[in-house]
Amino acid sequence: MHILQGIDMVQVSKLEKMLLASPGLASEIFTEKEREYCFAMARPYVHLAGRFAAKEACLKALGLGLSGEGIDSALQDIEVVAGISGKPDLLVKGRVEKAGGRRKVCQYTVSISHSGDFAVASVVLVAGENCE
């Protein structure tokens, strides 16, 4: 068994400015459920920034990234959902799920934090032949 890890930090005001300048961009980056969740919050851009950081941290942990063909569908293939306790979880599909399968990932974990104008996310993946 081995661990794969990725981390990313996003400036909330920069992401907010980008999304307000290009309204369709939010639907390219975030799933419908993510947008519904975040825009129901008092400070939606803080939550969107945390989710963006989580998506990029997940891609980093998988050795992918947003350059090249990564951005086209990868961001929609990663969804951050809130568990019953509010703890975030990652759901993956498509190309991201296939990349995880090639690396034998059996567990995806994410932690998101916000402070001031920044959101940070850390993703840890457990991988191996005999994951339980």
Are residues 121 and 112 in contact, defined by beta-carbon separation less than 8 angstroms?
yes
pLDDT band for position 70 (50/70/90)?
very low
Where exactly are the structural domains of the chain? 2-127
Instruction: Indicate the length of the chain as a whole number.
Output: 132
What gap in Å lies between CA 30 and CA 74, rounded to an integer? 10
Q: Which residues fall within 8 angstroms of residue 131, CB to CB, at 6 or more apart?
A: 1, 104, 106, 107
2-127 belongs to which homologous superfamily?
4'-phosphopantetheinyl transferase domain (3.90.470.20)
Query: What's the pLDDT tens digit per position in 83-120?
Result: 888 899 999 999 899 999 999 999 999 999 999 999 99
Beta-ladder partners of 112: 121
Are residues 12 and 119 in contact, defined by beta-carbon separation less than 8 angstroms?
yes
